[in-house]
Amino acid sequence: MIKKPNQQIPDHHLFRQEMGDVVPLKPVETIDSPAPRKLTRPQKLEDLGAGLDQHAVSAKDEQFHINCEQGMTHRKNGVQKRVMQKLKRGQFKVSDQIDLHNMTVASGHTALLEFINSSMSDSLVCIRVIHGKSIRSEHGPRLKLMSRRLLREHSMVLAFSACKPAEGGDGATDVLLRSL
């Protein structure tokens, strides 16, 4: 038996034979999308530094350049994820609240410390801090940053989270306190 060499047709010729009757699709016109919108105000406190005089932000405030979008929630070690989820969903009953609107950073700091101490003495579990979003503020969300920094560092605060939109959204923070 004598073997004949295979006379195979190259693949690209076979492909062209099969696709001979196919008509290519017409190209679709593309539409260029508009450029993304620029933010109307800076998101970081450090971006505001150029427009502020040196006395507007104290040296203590300058060391904490926290992005406004970060730090919306915080939980300390030992706080279960389920507890944090309940806090985010607003499932804890808010016993009392403080409104820091129209306060300076220094007076807000003092008022918030006194409020946490009085809440602890009254054995309250969940409180709300209303600090505002600082939409119209020239100096950025200084009260929000100060209050979240204080809550993060306070030994009696277990966790905190921004409120649901119907309850103030990012302009208010629900705080879970340690029980005595």
Assign 38 to helix, strand or coil: coil
Q: 75-177: what fold?
A: Ribosomal Protein S8; Chain: A, domain 1 (3.30.1370)
Tell me the C-alpha distance between 103 and 114, whole Å: 14
- E-state strands within 15-78: 73-75
Where in the chain are the domains? 75-177
pLDDT of residue 44: 43
Prediction pTM value? 0.59
Give residue-wise pLDDT tens across range 56-76. Answer: 334 344 333 343 445 688 888
Residue 130, token pair as written in the block: 């209303």
Confidence of residue 114 (pLDDT cuts 50, 70, 90): very high
Q: Which residue has the tokens 């450029």?
A: 35
Give residue-wise pLDDT tens across range 136-175. Answer: 777 778 888 899 899 999 889 999 998 888 888 888 999 9
Q: Which residue has the tokens 């505001």?
A: 48
Give the residue-averaged pLDDT of 9-33. Answer: 80
pLDDT of residue 32: 65
φ, ψ for residue 88 (rounded to 5)? -65, -35
Length of the chain: 180
